[in-house]
Amino acid sequence: MSSSASRSPANGSVTLQEWQAWGTNSPLPTMVTDIVDQMKALEIDIDAHMTFGGSGGKLQGDFKVQEDKKHRATYQALGDSEKKLQFFSARQIACRLLGSRGYLCQKCWLPFEDCMCSRVMPCSLWRGMRFWLYMHPKDFLRQNNTGKLLWQVFGVEAATLCLFGITEQEEIMWNTFKHAGKNNVWCLYPNKNATSKSVQEAFGQESSADQKCTQLMTNGDKTLNFILIDGTWSNSNAMFSRLKEHAKSIWGAEDLPCISLATGASAMHKLRPQPSWDRTCTAAAAIGLLSELQLLPEFTSYGLDKRAEAVEDALVALLEALTTRRLRMGRSITRKVRHSRDIC
């Protein structure tokens, strides 16, 4: 099915099984189900069917016009900024869930004719670390999203999805962080306004890495938690600010421990350019972290280089699947490079 063709979602509400099949083990968000039910009711009220199509699978037709008026009125009536964020995120996710039914593979988020699942080789992640994909709702079910590759390779327990503004998932993530303690939570965020350490500075011999590794071998709850902000760079500031606010409410400190990587541009720059060459896609950031940790004596025995290779292979498979699709549809396989003062 062409991405430009209109399609109607299957009838019925979103079930827990359907929700978790998209790459999560969290409960089904209440607000998402409420919005889906409201959209289904609106279909009956105005006697117009939901249709999706075009780039990103957006709502189309008469239903879009009426639903747009309704959701804007609801949003404006919410006086609290937190409630507005929760509503915005839930609606984005509800629309993407409905628009992707019967069109995208639930594992790789590609159209069925371009499914790359058979090319992904799952493997276990070292039990002493865990990835958290803190994803913007506009990146949820996005075909060229690379964060999804981490749970395809490592599983949803080792690489856990947390959607920005979705209360149920954010509570799960922060409850885990509170139990782990601030010293075991790190955010990969190459922002000049954020105080960050290199992998060597954070986990090298002169750091407390030796103590951390000893703890990891004796206490399974002292897992190193790494947050990967998974969204466009224009959205990442708001996401990072929200993380800092939560961190302050728990630990009373403004700063959230951050790591900067020596990673260069990834292959995905060909299809999804970043604002500057020191910024890279989510999967490449994970590859960089695993590779840099592997170089440290404290981590050499955990086989992190093999895990990095598994993610890199999945990233190559995704790039090839997206390239093949673009060629088939007669679209360019290169994107304009965005100019930035950060580019030499």
pLDDT band at 53 (very low <50, low <70, confident <90, very high): confident
Residue-wise pLDDT tens digits, 85-134: 999 999 999 999 999 999 999 999 999 999 999 999 999 999 999 999 99
| 10/7 Cα distance (integer angstroms) | 10
Residue indicated by tokens 């979602």: 9
* pLDDT at 251 (0 to 100): 92
Q: Let me know the angle formed at the C-alpha of 42 by 40 and 43, rounded to the nearest 5 degrees.
A: 65
The side-by-side arrangement of strands in the sheet containing 196-198 is 159-163, 129-135, 224-230, 185-188, 258-260, 196-198
Report how far Cα 116 is from the mean position of its chain's Cα atoms.
18
**Inter-CA distances, 39 with 9, 55, 75, Å:** 11, 21, 15
pTM of the model: 0.89
Torsions phi, psi for 129 (to 5 deg): -140, 155
Report how far Cα 139 is from the mean position of its chain's Cα atoms.
7
Residue-wise pLDDT tens digits, 285-333: 999 999 999 999 999 999 999 999 999 999 999 999 999 999 998 887 7
Burial class (CB in 10 A: 0-12, 13-18, 19+), 42: middle
Give yes or no for a contact between 145 and 228, defined as CB atoms under 8 angstroms apart.
no
Residue-wise pLDDT tens digits, 155-167: 999 999 999 999 9
Average pLDDT over residues 133-150: 96
**5 against 214, higher pLDDT:** 5
Average per-residue pLDDT for the chain: 86
Kindly list the domain boundaries of the chain, sorted by start residue: 16-99, 112-202+219-329
